[in-house]
Chain A
Amino acid sequence: MTPLLRLTDVRKTFGGLVAVNALSFEIEAGAIVAMIGPNGAGKSTVFNLITGVYEPTSGAIDLDGRTICGLKTHAIAGLGIARTFQNIRLFAFMSALDNVMTGRHSRMRASLFDSLLHTPAQRGEEKRVRERARELLRFCGLEREADDYARNLSYGHQRRLEIARALASEPKLLLLDEPAAGMNPREKSDLIELIRRIRDSGVTVFLIEHDMHLVMNVSERITVLDHGEKIAEGLPEAVRNDERVIEAYLGRETPAG
């Protein structure tokens, strides 16, 4: 079976800086997988490579066995990859509902003329999209915030709204960039539960996270990145005890002299 996402020998350099080097891994459909690594390891760069913000210097990225290298970000979004951002990037002065409806853009068909003339097809679509957006807000526990400006939501709610907005495009693969950052323990456990529900609805989840409790709890496989290279990969338990991983995070143990 072809994996949902496959990175083959991906390399990305910015001038002389090697951000990602010889990175290969696969994500099976229906999984929850995580990528961890110290700050500056290149994790967000990997997300930016997958979503077409950057083009790999060399290597290949395939979605469902078809290459997505060189495609524009909006086209990749249309193929079924949605994401959230490490620094929340909601549409601050649009309502929560409008944010989610905007997330649906790639699944909508209204043409320029439909938009100009509000044809019956356009009105029907708007109505369906609005209903679907409300469902998604409910799914993420935000039904009461539907009409609030995104920027007026609490931090935890903003993180959830980003997820609702990403889900609106009915993605095959959802990329979550540090979804638990800044959340309190209560919000984190709600998030774990939400991530599981998302996977159960048929969406593959790939997350970057620093919170080890959450990562170990929710992910089925973990890839560890350090200095742009994969240093470990496997089940949470194995990764937790991997010497190179411990070294990357805590440094090498020097013999006491």
Chain B
Amino acid sequence: MKFGRERPFAVLPFLVLPLVPLLDRNNSHIDFLTNAGAFILLALGLNIVVGFAGLLDLGYAAFFAIGSYSYAMLASQQFGIHIPFWVMLFVASVIAAIFGILLGAPTLRLRGDYLAIVTLGFGEIVPQTFLNLTQYTNGPNGISPLDSPSLFGHSFGFSATPYYEVMLALIALAVLLATNLQSSRLGRAWMAIREDELAARHMGINTTTAKLAAFALGASFSGLAGVAYAAKLSLVSPDQFQFNVSVLVLSMLVLGGMGNIWGVIVGSFTLSFINGFLLPQSTNLAHSMHLNLDFTNYRFMLYGVILVAMMLFRPEGLIPSKQRRAEFREAKLDPALAAEEQGEYTLGPGPGAGTGG
């Protein structure tokens, strides 16, 4: 296993960040960082589907839900099943991967706008299903409490710190796997499919299995995130997995730079920071000054402004991958390419239609 040239930079954060709880004893800070970590995991997973394979998925929260509910159902009093947290990380990522394949399979013939709409549908169906299967999921009340994880006989309890450390370890694992994927036979196949699907097939790439692998692997990351997040909260309910979660995670990719692992992490953390720290803290400050302002209400307006600004000034994201940067830069320089890119989003037959079948 290797990180290539990025290795020293890649390892450093994972040596320093575990020490943060020693320096900052404020539990709410660690709690915030842990939640931000869950979203980094989600963003890294969605990046495989959207960034690597180029499959626009607007319903990614569905897999987060499936991971969380797996833990809730298999590690609580709900059915009296108590599978240990550590085993559930594995089990839930496998369950999420299976659903990734099940939900991915019907979408394989679709591209672009159409794929986005179908995945949007799945993103709505899954939480609705959990909401309506009342006898198994308690419907809108959700499932709570969930088993607290334990390590060597010590229960995690209510402190955020152990969850924080677990989250960091999961992110390190996700970064390693995603980096490996990128420079592998499968990663190249995804890139080729993203560039030209018909040509990719002529290279002997089975586009069906390659796309399903992207859906499965992407989903498995959110399975991990779901288990860790549910265990920390000790609660799952359907309203945690609504459409805005899918949009939030996608916005993290757009902000950070799709296809680039470090960009995705930065984008994800930035939005989490605004969402979970900056806005609540500003609101507290305002209240302490006897101003009746609640900045958290402006959350989505702020996201909107950020996304519009990104599209105008840096559409490739804060830290783009080499390919994306070239794609955006050269599209700007080359009107012919710009027109071609536009063509991708018209409703008529796309560029491949001439020889495609």
Contacts and interface: CB of A to CB of B under 8 A. Distances in A.
Interface of A: 44, 48, 51, 53-54, 72-75, 77-78, 82-83, 85, 87, 89-94, 98, 101-103, 105-108, 110, 112, 114-118, 122, 125-126, 149, 151, 165, 169
Given A48-B357, A116-B180, A151-B330, A73 B202 contact: yes
Interface stretch (B84-92, B146-154, B190-198): B190-198
B189 A102 contact: yes
Contacts, number: 113
Interface of B: 1-2, 177, 180-181, 183-189, 191-192, 195-196, 198-207, 213, 217, 323, 326-327, 330, 354-357
Residue among A53, A94, A115, A116 with the highest chain B CB neighbour number at 10 A: A115
Nearest to A119: B1
Contact of A91 (B1, B192, B204, B354): B192
A74 to B, nearest CB: 5
9 contacts: A78-B204, A85-B199, A91-B196, A92-B195, A102-B192, A102-B203, A107-B204, A115-B185, A116-B181
Nearest to A54: B357
Contact of B184 (A74, A82, A110): A110
A149 B354 CA distance: 25
Contacts of A108: 185
Contacts of A125: 185
Contact of A94 (B181, B191, B205, B213): B191
Given A72-B201, A74-B204, A110-B185, A115 B191 contact: no
Contacts of B184: 110, 114-116, 118, 122, 126
A89 B217 CA distance: 28
A199 B202 CA distance: 20
Given A115-B180, A118-B2, A94 B195 contact: yes
Nearest to A107: B204
A126 B201 CA distance: 20
Contacts of A102: 188-189, 191-192, 200, 203, 205
B326 A149 contact: yes
Given A105-B205, A112-B186, A169-B203, A93 B326 contact: yes
A85 B195 CA distance: 15
B191 A117 contact: no
Given A106-B204, A116-B181, 19 more contacts: A44-B355, A51-B202, A53-B198, A73-B198, A74-B204, A74-B207, A75-B206, A91-B191, A92-B195, A94-B195, A98-B191, A101-B188, A108-B185, A110-B185, A116-B217, A117-B180, A118-B180, A151-B330, A165-B203
Contact of A105 (B1, B203, B330, B354): B203
Contacts of A169: 203-204
A235 B357 CA distance: 34
A115 B187 contact: yes
Contacts of B180: 115-118
A102 B357 CA distance: 22
B213 A112 contact: yes
Nearest to A51: B202
Nearest to B189: A105
Nearest to B196: A89
Contacts of B198: 53, 73, 89
Contacts of B181: 115-116
Contacts of B199: 85, 89-91
A74 B323 contact: no
Contact of B201 (A77, A110, A151): A77
Contacts of A48: 355, 357
A151 B195 CA distance: 11
